[in-house]
Every structure is written in structure tokens, then in C-alpha cells.
């Protein structure tokens, strides 16, 4: 018999090619008159486009967002928001930029209109993260949830195929863990499975045809659903490992999710059989963990921690960090099995069948 509690926050979504043009209307709808546009240095030009669209509603541009939201960058952005007397923000970019907007909102209560240009999905959530002293700390607060999200798939066309694939695998991780989360619901399972199916269709096509309109729209749609799944459920071992390794060793966020995901699924295989059945079916695979590994391989992305800058000498320290304050997970965290998981991931091996 089913038993669950499903709570769905209201968050306005504007979706479609060219929908960035709706940004001024969304600002007016929210009564925002001095918006600070945020971006990474690499996406400054896209940020400047948003500033032009906003016209007199733009307070300025802060193009200093950095991966994992270092506290020093958050403090700079908060100070800039105060100096410009901003009454809201427009993070345009991926999870890095959305994360910076959340860091501002956490302290200053400034609402945001998120414009994602990757598939991270964090724009749909009340989850924030800040890195300080080599450790990434996460939390939840309704203060940081964007008030509106504009999904314009054309903004993802410039994302290199390899980055598109790792960003998609990052979002897939949200779906995978939502399916075996202790607070999953039937609605979340529908979202997660449809997201997995859409990503499985889209990512290999994007690798070959980076400007394929249908594939880009599919992937952005999938990231929206993945973000909802992430927001409504507790994440497990996979996210614990990625937050630990990313914060401690400054590894690239999306690539890290891509490498770890098949191995985390293999770790939880026997403890979450129904979730694994749903994942495998959505991928069109016989085994969930192997299906995730094969999708990553077909998408031309890194398969090993060594490829993305991890040092083998740091694996033991990574285990020490990961066993501290574990996330809820269907299988208890066992040190020896976790060490084997990381060793497989370090060498880029297919996920173990006997983990």
C-alpha cells in the first residue's frame, strides 16, 4: 500500500525558444526595478545581453560566479548588491551562477529570476551550497528559491557537446537518487523517469549535432523535471561523495557527478531494487548502473576521477571525509565498499557487479 506526503511549491516556469525576451515582463510582474545580473566570467557576454534586455531595470552585472560558491565570492557579490541597491538578481548560467544568487538571497533576502543555460536543475530548488576552508556545506531555505525560471533552449546551443553531456549526467543523478530517496512520491517518480528518458534520447544526439533543436529542448525539459525531483527529495551517497570530493579537491562539478553516478548506483543496487528497475527501464538497459555508464561512454565524457584531476593518493582521505555525517541512503555506508567504489571510479572501470 502506498503512503506518502507530497508537497509542491509554486514556482513560475517560462519555457520555449526565445523566451529570454520575457525577462523584462517577469521583472515587472514581480515588481523588481533594480536587478543585478550574475554570470561567470566565461558567460559575461550572455549576462550583458540580459542587462540590455532589462534596460532601466538593470542595476549592473557581476560576472564573478565561481564553481562551488566560495564564501569569498559570495561576500563580494553580496557587497555589490548592497552598493548598487539591488532589489533582486538574475543569475544567467548554470548551477554555479544560480548558487551565487542563492548565497545573496540567503543573507539579503533578494528574490531572483533564474535563466539556466545548462542542465544543472538547481534553479528549481531551495538547496544552497557554500564552500569555506575546503569544505562544501549545503542547506535548504525557501529564501533562496527563485521566484521565476526562464528556460530558453537556444541559450544552451553554445554549450560544448561534452559540457552538455556532463551537465545532463549531473541532472540525471538527481533523478536516480530521488527514486530511492526515503521521501520519494509517485509524482516524483514520474518526473524522474520521464527526465531520464528525455536525457537518454537527447545527450547522444547533442554529441553529434550540438544545435539540434529537438534534442536541446528535450534536454532542457529533462533538466526542469530533474530539478523538481532534486528539490522534493533527500539525496543520498552519490551527492554526499560529489559534495565531499568537489569541495575538498576542487574537482569540476558536472564531470564529478558524471564519473561517480554509475558507481553510486552499483553500490545501492541490491538495496533499492525497484528504483534500479525504473532507472534501467527508462534508459532501455538491463542494469541501471551499467546503463548509466554506457550512456556516459556514448556521450563522450570523462569516465574516471583521474581524468578530472583527482590524485590517487587522496582517495583514502576522501573516504575519511565521506563517512562523516552521511546522507540518507538505502544501503548503510560501509568503509571498505566505499573505498572500492572510489577505486573503480578513479580508474574508470565499469561499475562493479559485486560491490
Tell me what the mean pLDDT of segment 154-164 comes to.
92
CATH number at residue 223: 1.20.1090.10
pTM for the full model?
A: 0.90
Mean of the pLDDT values across residues 75-100? 97
Residues 170 and 264 in one domain: yes
Same domain, 177 and 306: yes
Dmax (CA) of the chain: 60
Band (pLDDT 50/70/90 cuts) for residue 38 is very high
Last residue of some domain: 115, 141, 156? 156
What does the pLDDT read at residue 354?
75
Task: Place 91 in a pLDDT band, splitting at 50, 70 and 90.
Answer: very high
Residue 1: pLDDT above 80? Answer: no
| 196/303 same-domain check | yes
Q: Is 142 exposed, middle or buried (0-12, 13-18, 19+ CB in 10 A)?
A: exposed
CA pair distance 128, 266, nearest whole angstrom = 27
Residue 29 lies in a domain: yes
pLDDT score of 248: 86
Q: Which of 134, 156, 178 is the last residue of a domain?
A: 156
Q: 91 - beta bridge partners?
A: 38
Give the domain extent around 194. 161-347
Nearest to 148 by CA among 277, 279, 273, 31: 31
352 or 14, which is more confident? 14
Residues 131 and 209 grouped into a single domain: no
Is 37 a domain residue?
Answer: yes
Is the pLDDT at 118 greater than 70, yes or no? yes
138 and 165, same domain (yes or no): no
At residue 2, the pLDDT reads 72
| Whether 206 and 341 share a structural domain | yes
Are both 277 and 177 inside the same structural domain?
yes
pLDDT value of position 137: 85
Rounded mean pLDDT of 251-279?
Answer: 96
Mean local confidence (pLDDT), 140-162: 95
Cα distance between residue 43 and residue 38, in whole Å = 9
Kindly give the residue spans of alpha helices, DSSP state H, lying in 209-301.
Answer: 213-232, 237-249, 253-268, 273-283, 288-298
Q: Which of 105, 122, 156 is the last residue of a domain?
A: 156
Give the confidence band of 352 by pLDDT, cuts at 50, 70, 90. confident
Q: What is the CATH number of the domain that holds 127?
A: 3.40.50.1970
pLDDT digit string (tens) for 233-245? 999 999 989 988 9
Q: Look at residue 351 and give its three-state secondary structure.
A: coil
d(CA 238, CA 261): 6
Q: How many CB atoms lie within 10 A of CB 44?
A: 17
53 and 81: one domain?
Answer: yes
Lowest mean pLDDT among 2-11, 60-69, 332-341: 2-11
Helix (H) or strand (E) holding 37: strand 35-38
The number of distinct structural domains making up the chain is 2
Distances from the Cα of 288 to the Cαs of 157, 264, 265, 334, in angstroms? 29, 11, 7, 21
Amino acid at each position: 500500500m502506498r503512503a506518502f506526503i507530497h508537497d509542491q511549491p509554486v514556482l513560475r516556469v517560462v519555457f520555449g525558444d526565445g523566451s529570454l525576451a520575457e525577462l523584462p515582463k517577469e521583472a515587472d510582474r514581480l515588481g523588481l526595478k533594480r536587478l543585478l545580473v550574475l554570470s561567470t566570467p566565461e558567460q559575461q557576454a550572455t549576462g550583458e545581453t540580459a542587462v540590455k534586455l532589462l534596460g532601466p531595470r538593470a542595476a549592473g552585472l557581476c560576472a564573478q560566479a565561481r564553481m562551488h560558491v566560495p564564501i569569498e565570492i559570495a561576500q563580494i557579490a553580496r557587497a555589490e548588491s548592497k552598493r548598487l541597491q539591488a532589489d533582486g538578481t538574475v543569475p544567467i548560467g548554470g548551477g554555479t551562477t544560480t548558487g551565487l544568487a542563492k548565497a545573496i538571497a540567503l543573507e539579503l533576502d533578494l528574490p531572483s529570476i533564474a535563466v539556466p543555460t545548462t542542465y544543472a536543475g538547481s534553479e528549481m530548488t531551495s538547496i544552497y551550497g557554500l564552500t569555506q576552508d575546503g569544505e562544501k556545506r549545503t542547506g535548504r531555505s525557501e529564501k533562496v528559491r527563485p521566484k521565476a525560471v526562464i528556460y530558453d533552449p537556444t541559450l544552451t546551443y553554445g554549450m560544448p557537446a561534452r559540457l552538455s553531456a556532463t551537465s545532463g549526467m549531473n541532472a540525471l543523478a538527481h533523478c536516480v537518487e530521488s527514486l530511492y530517496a526515503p521521501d520519494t512520491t509517485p509524482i516524483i517518480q514520474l518526473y524522474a523517469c520521464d527526465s531520464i528518458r528525455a536525457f537518454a534520447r537527447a545527450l547522444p544526439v547533442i554529441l553529434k549535432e550540438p544545435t539540434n533543436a529537438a534534442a536541446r529542448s528535450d534536454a532542457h525539459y529533462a533538466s526542469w523535471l530533474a530539478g523538481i525531483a532534486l528539490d522534493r527529495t533527500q539525496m543520498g551517497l552519490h551527492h554526499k561523495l560529489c559534495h565531499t570530493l568537489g569541495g575538498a579537491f576542487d574537482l569540476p562539478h558536472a564531470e564529478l557527478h558524471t564519473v561517480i553516478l554509475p558507481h553510486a548506483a552499483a553500490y545501492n543496487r541490491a538495496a533499492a531494487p525497484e528504483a534500479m528497475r525504473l532507472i534501467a527501464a527508462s534508459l532501455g538497459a538491463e542494469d541501471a548502473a551499467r546503463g548509466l555508464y554506457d550512456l556516459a561512454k556514448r556521450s563522450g565524457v570523462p569516465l574516471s576521477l583521474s581524468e578530472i584531476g583527482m590524485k590517487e593518493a587522496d582517495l583514502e582521505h576522501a573516504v575519511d571525509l565521506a563517512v562523516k555525517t552521511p546522507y540518507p541512503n538505502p544501503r548503510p555506508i560501509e568503509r571498505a565498499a566505499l573505498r572500492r567504489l572510489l577505486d573503480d571510479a578513479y580508474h574508470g572501470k565499469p561499475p562493479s557487479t559485486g560491490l
